[in-house]
Amino acid sequence: MFKNRCSLKVILCWMITILIISAVHSFIQPDAVFGKECLQEDMKNLEKELYSFYEQNEKDRAKIIDDLVAQAELLVEKYEEDPDAYDAAATVLIKLGEFHQNPLGIYQKGIDLALKMRKLNDKEGRSYFWEASFMGEMGQLQGVFNSLRKIRPMKSKLEKALQEEPEFAPIHDVLARLYKAAPGWPISIGDMNKALYHRRKSVDLDPENVEYLWKLYKKYISLNRSEQAGRVLRKIVNMPEGARGEFYYGPQTLEDFQKKAEQELENNF
C-alpha cells in the first residue's frame, strides 16, 4: 500500500511538472515570436529611414544623420539578445560613416558594437567580420601607416569569421578588398590571386548581389581578362528585377549597375 502511494505521488508530481512546463512554454513562445516580429518591423522602418537619407541633399543629411545613428543604437538596446539587431545597426553605421562629420567616431561605435555582439554565443564569427570591416574603414581615414598596421589584425579577424561562417559572402568581399588594397610582399599581404579567389567566392555565395558582380568585372579588367569581364557585364544587364544592387556599402541600385554595365559594353566590347 505504501509503495502504491509513493508511486502515485511520483506520477502526480511528474504530471504537475509537465503541465507547468507546457504552460510556461505556451506563455513564453508567443512573446518570443512577437518579439521577433517587432524586431523585423523595426528593422524595416530603420532601412526605410536609411534609404530616405540618401535622397536628401547634403544640408538635410547633416540634420538627420545623428538621429539615424541613435535609432541604430536604440535597436540594439531594445533587442540586445538578438544578433539580427546588431547586423542591422552595424549596416547603418558602416553606410553612414562617410557622411558624418566625425566618421572615426561612427566607426568606433561600430567596433564597440561588434565587441558587444561577440558575447552572443552563436554569432562570434559575425562579430569578427564587423570588427574587421570597421577597422578597414578607420584605416582608410587614418593614412597609409595606420592602415598598414591594421591589415594583419583585419586578416586574422576575417579568417576567424570564416571559420565560423564560411558561407557568409560579405567576409569574402572584405577579404577580396583587403588583398587588393594591401601592398604586396615583403611589405604586406597584398595578393591579386587571393583577391580574385575571394571576389569569385563572394559572387558564388551571393549570385544576385550586383555590387559583387560589378567588382568581379573590375577585377577581370585589371587582369586584362576581357572575355570573362564581358560575360560578367552581360550577366549584370540580364539580372532579374529584385536582384540587390548593394550589400553593406553605398546607395546604388540594380538599375544604376545595369546602366554602367550597358555603357561599358557599348564602349569597350
Provide the H-helix boundaries in the chain: 2-54, 58-78, 83-96, 103-117, 124-142, 144-164, 169-181, 192-205, 210-222, 226-237, 254-268
86 pLDDT exceeds 90? yes
pLDDT in tens, 93-106: 999 998 999 999 99
DSSP, collapsed to helix, strand or coil, labels residue 190 as strand
The domain total for the chain is 1
Residue 30: what pLDDT?
Answer: 44
Give DSSP secondary structure letters for 76-115. Answer: HHHTTT-HHHHHHHHHHHHHHGGGSS-HHHHHHHHHHHHH
Cα–Cα distances (Å) from 195 to 141, 175, 200, in that order, read: 22, 7, 9
Per-residue pLDDT band at 247 (split at 50, 70, 90)? low
Q: Examine residue 247 and state whether it is found in any structural domain, yes or no.
A: yes
Between 44 and 112, the more confident residue is 112
235 pLDDT exceeds 50? yes
CA distance 116 to 123: 11
Q: Examine residue 215 and state whether it is found in any structural domain, yes or no.
A: yes
Q: Examine residue 71 and state whether it is found in any structural domain, yes or no.
A: no
CA distance 79 to 136: 27
| pTM (predicted TM-score) | 0.82
CA distance 36 to 249: 26
Residue 269: what pLDDT?
Answer: 86
Residue 47: what pLDDT?
Answer: 86
pLDDT in tens, 183-218: 999 889 999 999 999 999 999 999 999 999 999 999
Residue 63: what pLDDT?
Answer: 87
Q: Examine residue 128 and state whether it is found in any structural domain, yes or no.
A: no
Residue 145: what pLDDT?
Answer: 62
How much of the chain exceeds pLDDT 90, in percent? 61
DSSP, collapsed to helix, strand or coil, labels residue 255 as helix
Looking at residues 2-17, what average pLDDT do you find?
48
Residue 240 belongs to domain spanning:
207-269
Residue 55: what pLDDT?
Answer: 86
2 pLDDT exceeds 50? no
CA distance 127 to 254: 28
Q: Examine residue 261 and state whether it is found in any structural domain, yes or no.
A: yes
Looking at residues 242-248, what average pLDDT do you find?
71
pLDDT in tens, 129-187: 999 999 999 988 887 667 788 899 999 999 999 999 999 999 999 999 999 999 999 88
194, amino acid identity: K
Q: Examine residue 252 and state whether it is found in any structural domain, yes or no.
A: yes
Residue 148: what pLDDT?
Answer: 86
